[in-house]
Every structure is written in C-alpha cells, then in structure tokens.
Amino acid sequence: MRTRTTISAAGAALAALTFTAACAPGSSSSTSDSSSPKTIDVKSFKGKTLTYVYFTDGPDEQATRTAISKFESETGAKVNLQILPFADINTSLQARLSAGNAPEAARVADWHLFKDEAVDFKQYFGKDYASQFTPGAASTVQDGSGHMYAVPSDITINGPMINVDAFKKAGVAVPTKWTWDELVADAKKVAAANNMKYAVAIDKSGNRLSTVLSQYGTSMIGPGNKNVLDKAKATKALTFFTDLVKSDVAPKDFWLGSGSKYTGANEIFLAKQVPVYLSGPWQVGAFAKNAKFTWAAVPNPCAERCGGFPGGKYMTAFKNSKQPELGAAFVEWMNRSQNQAEIDKTAFWLPTRADLTKSGIQYPSRNSDMSVFVSQISETPTDTWAGEASPAFTNAAKALIAETDKVVAGQQDVKTAVDNLSNAVDKAIKGAS
C-alpha cells in the first residue's frame, strides 16, 4: 500500500507525445460508442491557450500550478488559471456558459449542473477510459447512458482518527479492525482513563452520517438516482447514533448547538476531550501541525458492512469553448497516473485512479495515516458512490441532519425520522430531475 508509483521513461515519453480521441474536436454524439479512438499529435496545441476555472482547498494550489507548468512545457500550450472562491464556482460557470464564454476546463463539486455543456470524455479517449479509475470513482462520472461528462480528480473517504497517547494510557490496543460496538466500548474505556468528556465525536454532516447508514447496510440514493433507503436498516443506524448523542457518549451540546449547517468536531479532538473522531483525510495536514499529542488514522468500524462514505471533486471540459479538444486533453493529462500522484502527494488528496489505489502513494508526511484512508477506498461499498454523486444528495443530506436533530432533541422517535427522511429523499430526487 505504501510503494511509490513510477512510470518507465519510454512510457512517459510516449504519453507526453500523444493523446487519444474518438471523434472530431468538439463534436457530440447521442451514444458513448468510442471504439475507434484516433491519435492526436500534441504539437497541434502549441501556441494555444486554455482557461481553467479552479477553486482551491489549500495546498493543492501549488501542486496544481506545478502540474500546469509541466503541461505547458510538454505541449507548448498556455493555461490561464482562474481561481475563484468555492461558493462562486457554480454561478460563475453558469453565467459564462449562458453568455457563450465557456472556459476550456473547470474543477467542480457537481458536474451534473453542466452536463449539457460538457464533453463526453469517452468520445476523446475511448469507451474504456472510465476503467482507468476505481469502480466507485468511475460510477460517479457516468450517466445512465454511459456518457462520461467529468473525470474524478480527487476523492475523500470518511474515517476515524484516534488519540494514540490516550489509548496507550488506558492500555487499549490501537485497532486494526473493529466493529462499532467494539469502537464504542474501547472509546468509553479510553475516555474514562484519561478523564475525557466524550468517547466519540463525529462531524455534524450529512455525508458523515451517511457513513453510519452505509455501515449498517443502506444508503439514501442509489444507482439510477433512485431512493434506496432501507427503513429497517436506517432505523438501526439512527437508533445507534442518536443513542450515542443523547447519552453524551458523543457530544450532545455540539450536535444541538450547531444548527443545521455543517460543523466540524475537530476542535473537540484537538482539545483532547475525545479519543475517537470520525472525519476524513482533509484533517491530516492541520492535525500534523496543530495536534499536541500522538494521533493516527485507523480503519472504519464495521456493522453489517465496512468502509466509509465518499466525497469528491471533478474536472470537466466544455464542448462550446474555443479549444474543446485542448480542454479535454488537459483534463486527461492532469489525471494520468504520474501527474495525479504528484498532485495527491502535495495536496493530501486520495487517488481516484485504480492503479494508484492499488499501489499506494508515498506522501511526504503522515504517509501511514494517508495509506489507511487509501485502504478504505476499496472497502467502501460501490453503491455509496452513486449516492454521493447524485444531484439530489445535498438536499437529502440536509434532511438527514434535520430529522436526526429532532430525535436528539426529543421531538420525534427514530421511526418517524426515518419515514420523514424517506419522503425527503423522494422530494430531493424529484427536485433534481
């Protein structure tokens, strides 16, 4: 899991010289049949300029700039990198597309908003292009007809981190595999031995709560944008979780006091008030700098099944831009094995490519922790990816938080919450159709 990915010199040279495409630049098709891709000489890009609209999560900006410089050197093209606040990406892109001023490429959190304007990458890189990525990641970028309107550039997988010092003081072994019942029992023992206020903390997030649903065997939205919530399994999951919060094993005041918005529990973990914290790899860089104790990422607990719950960002290219072929080629190049690996190492991103997930990435620091998160990609059930990628997920996740709040506050029972949640999922799907 921790070997460095390499590409042979001959392979790298060949990759630098060619791109494959399946149809004429910018053309569209009603099918995803791309059985006869053709080779395009990248020398045709020399002197051309593409605009890349981007938002940054932090350390990824410099990694992206470094990759862009390499792309410019290899192709002779120029990249106009335009960085916007995350909150402005969707409205800015929609305005540009409406005005006939499409950029060549963009980084987005939800490609569904732009699929009518996006290129189908299979038309450029062949019908099997999606197979370069993990099955889960590939499933997030293809529609029901097999079109591939985006490329999965980086993903997250939820998972727990523990206070290792506190575990050692309590004489509790650092887990390599555990169930939810074992996690709670261990966490209670560790918290008691260290006079910690809580045993378990989880971000107030519909995505994080979806992890618990998945581990108990169900999701809200499945393939085909269908409501797949199993009410019996959801009832077990939410009963388990809300019992933790109501009993203050997980912080009740944090849950009730943070309203409906996303709220991270990272400060509770950093303050050494809890030994186990369920969040994700985006915390690794900050914890490496700010934690005043030894900590580590550990595998997700299992109930009916294991793994976490995914999140992701995507790169897309626009067919009505001035240089659609260049835009598509840029996205493909940025997500080649060696290039994606270099960005991931600096940005603390998890890979989307199947080869990188199998081989692992050598991160410059906290490599063992990042490797734990990488290992959870293959453990995460495939159906969760369809749910996360659904255009209805955001509103469904908000409903999950709202209904859980009411249970914790004593305003309704779990059965009512699950019934309301199922209705809200139907509404979210209808609204996104």
Enter the tokens of residue 287: 């914890």
202-260 pLDDT tens trace: 999 999 999 999 999 999 999 888 999 999 999 999 999 999 999 999 999 998 887 76
The alpha carbon of residue 48 and the mean position of all alpha carbons in its chain are separated, in whole angstroms, by 32
Residue closest to 205 by CA, chosen among 283, 138, 314: 283
DSSP string, 395-421: HHHHHHHHHHHHHHTTSS-HHHHHHHH
- Work out whether the CA dihedral 229, 231, 232, 234 comes out positive or negative: positive
Q: What is the pLDDT of residue 303?
A: 98
Q: What is the pLDDT of residue 30?
A: 37
Instruction: Report d(CA 277, CA 232) in Å as an integer.
Output: 26
Q: Which domains does the chain have, with CATH numbers?
A: 42-156+312-371 (3.40.190.10), 157-310+381-432 (3.40.190.10)
State how far the alpha carbon of 194 is from the alpha carbons of 188, 199, 272, 275, in Å. 10, 10, 9, 9
Instruction: Report d(CA 271, CA 132) in Å as an integer.
Output: 42
Q: Spell out the alpha helix ranges (H) of 217-366.
A: 231-246, 252-257, 266-270, 284-290, 324-334, 337-347, 354-359
- Work out whether the CA dihedral 135, 139, 142, 148 comes out positive or negative: negative
Q: What is the pLDDT of residue 432?
A: 86
348-398 pLDDT tens trace: 899 999 999 999 899 989 999 999 998 998 899 988 988 988 889 989 999
Enter the tokens of residue 411: 């305003």
Enter the tokens of residue 384: 């969760």
State how far the alpha carbon of 25 is from the alpha carbons of 44, 142, 239, in Å. 12, 20, 54
Q: Which residue's entry shows tokens 């072929």?
A: 325
Q: Give, in degrees to the nearest 5, the angle at Cα 285 between 88 and 330.
A: 50
Instruction: Report d(CA 142, CA 122) in Å as an integer.
Output: 10
Helix (H, G, I), strand (E, B), or coil: what is residue 134?
A: coil
Q: What is the pLDDT of residue 67?
A: 97
Residue closest to 134 by CA, chosen among 392, 335, 345, 370: 335
β-strand partners of 106: 53, 316
Q: What is the pLDDT of residue 19?
A: 54
Show the low-confidence residues of the chain (pLDDT under 50): 1-17, 20-35, 38
Instruction: Report d(CA 142, CA 382) in Å as an integer.
Output: 14
Instruction: Report d(CA 20, CA 15) in Å as an integer.
Output: 10
Q: What is the pLDDT of residue 124?
A: 92
Pairing, β 38-41 against β 226-227: unpaired
Q: What is the pLDDT of residue 32?
A: 41
Residue 51, H or E segment: strand 49-54
